[in-house]
Structure 1
Amino acid sequence: MMDDVPPEIPTYHQVMAAEKRAAIIGAATGLFLRSGYAGTSLAKIATTAGVSKATLFKQFPTKAALFDAIVTDYWRPQHESDHDQPPTGDLTVGLETVGRRYVALLTRPGMADLFRIVIAEAPRFPELGQTHFRLGKMPFFDSVRRYLEAEKDAGNVDLTDASLAATQFLGMIADFVFWPRMLLLDYSPSDGAMDGAVIEAARTMKARYATT
């Protein structure tokens, strides 16, 4: 029997690179929000992040590559288990699980700012919206759609369009948890209220689609 392989310990250089990457992404997000995508240069981002231009260019040779990284980072699940699809058999529990993951993503610090950047700059830079949709929203949406299709294959739900059902479910949550933040900067519902929105959305989906 082979011994368990211990996890790799990051080296000093790996830790420093990760810290610089986080500083670059944080600086870029703030500058994009204040000055716009077009009005922010990579040189200004490097200065604000406290890194050399060579360091920035090594990690992100273009502003587009940097924006891609920002979107990917913000939408990345916080826990490895969040990648797992809930087991089929209990639609309410499964939807509450994915619903709470969605709340965790939407309320992540900076997520509202990221949306504001995309909304403000999309008319001039439509690729920003496409990137946000392709790298951010769509992977999570697909995970919800696949879960609903698995429940359908198991005979637990009766639906003809899993994409529509996923849109309905996520929309019920986002309309309470997230979208008011775009207009009301002090909008901050309690954790209990947000969890209640997830529970009610799951119950609504069960009432509409459950076979029993």
Structure 2
Amino acid sequence: MSTEPSAYHRRVAEEKRAAILKAATGLFLASGYDGTSLAKIAEVAGVSKATLFKQFPTKAALFDAIVTESWQVDDAGSPEPPAEDLRAGLTAIGHRYVELLTRPGMTALFRIVIAELPRFPELGEAQFSRGKMPYFESVSRYLAAAHSAGSAKVDAPDLAATQFLGMISNFVFWPTLLLTDWAPDRSAIEQAVDEAVNTMSARYQA
């Protein structure tokens, strides 16, 4: 007799997980990390505390999951950035990065981390290790692949990834933490990505 959960039970578990993450995100944004309890999250999500604790035994684990999910890139059906064409590959990566940084709630999530960091340094660790670093490493791997494919000469892919992502985020994202009315239009964002690609191509294209 199989002990594996049925498709129905897996679907129910996934629905409850999604409800918990949605409720927790809303409460964290409204009340801050310290001002949000697991009991309140369970209440808003419409699940029992036992169900919540089964999936997320601590508030830190729940925040880790929110950060991890917020940095996931939905590229199902999208082709991999071509390693043999540096300009095309960087353009695709640049636009995906913009979509990631401009997601609803991304700025607010960073503000929570910054505000709560003195009391809860683990939030910064979660944002860095669960969110930013996996994405950064994917860009570094692409640049290393472009180097191997002969389309680029990148001896230090980590440094090159920092340069590329920094050129984009310094215009698109970081000002939003300090300027509530920062909202560059689509053409300005497109230009920022294009100029970052031009700079990288001039420096690294083989």
Q: What range is the shorter-chain TM-score in?
A: 0.7 to 0.9
Q: How does 1:53-202 map to 2 (within 5 A)?
A: 53-81=49-77, 85-202=80-197
User: Cα deviation per residue 1:131-183 (whole Å; 9 max; x = unaligned)?
Assistant: 11111111111111111112222333233321111101001111111112112
User: Cα deviation per residue 1:68-103 (whole Å; 9 max; x = unaligned)?
Assistant: 110111111113246x64222221101011111111
Scaled by the length of structure 2, the TM-score of the pair is 0.88
Equivalent position of 2:3 in the other structure: none
Displacement after TM superposition at 1:13 (Å):
4.2
Task: Check conservation: 2:84, 2:150, Cα contact below 8 A.
Answer: no
Scaled by the length of structure 1, the TM-score of the pair is 0.85
Displacement after TM superposition at 1:50 (Å):
2.6
Task: Check conservation: 1:85, 1:147, Cα contact below 8 A.
Answer: no
Instruction: Tell me, yes or no, if structure 1 residue 41 matches structure 2 residue 4.
Output: no
CA-atom RMSD in angstroms: 2.0
Task: Check conservation: 1:122, 1:129, Cα contact below 8 A.
Answer: yes
Task: Check conservation: 1:87, 1:94, Cα contact below 8 A.
Answer: yes
Structure 1 alignment gaps of length 5 or more: 1-9
Aligned equivalents of 2:180 and 2:45: distance in 1? 26
Task: Report the residue type matching 1:187 in the other structure.
Answer: W
Task: Report the residue type matching 2:56 in the other structure.
Answer: F
**Percent of aligned pairs sharing the same letter:** 63
Aligned equivalents of 1:11 and 1:190: distance in 2? 44
Task: Check conservation: 1:24, 1:49, Cα contact below 8 A.
Answer: yes
Structure 2 alignment gaps of length 5 or more: 1-5
Task: Report the residue type matching 2:204 in the other structure.
Answer: Y
Aligned pairs, number: 201
Displacement after TM superposition at 1:194 (Å):
1.9
Task: Report the residue type matching 2:101 in the other structure.
Answer: L
User: Cα deviation per residue 1:20-62 (whole Å; 9 max; x = unaligned)?
Assistant: 3222212212222333322221001112223221221122111
Instruction: Tell me, yes or no, if structure 1 residue 50 matches structure 2 residue 46.
Output: yes
Equivalent position of 1:24 in the other structure: 20
Task: Report the residue type matching 1:29 in the other structure.
Answer: T
Task: Check conservation: 2:154, 2:204, Cα contact below 8 A.
Answer: yes
Aligned equivalents of 1:199 and 1:123: distance in 2? 38
SS in 2 for 1:80: coil
- 1:187–1:12 CA distance, 2 compared to 1 (3 A): farther
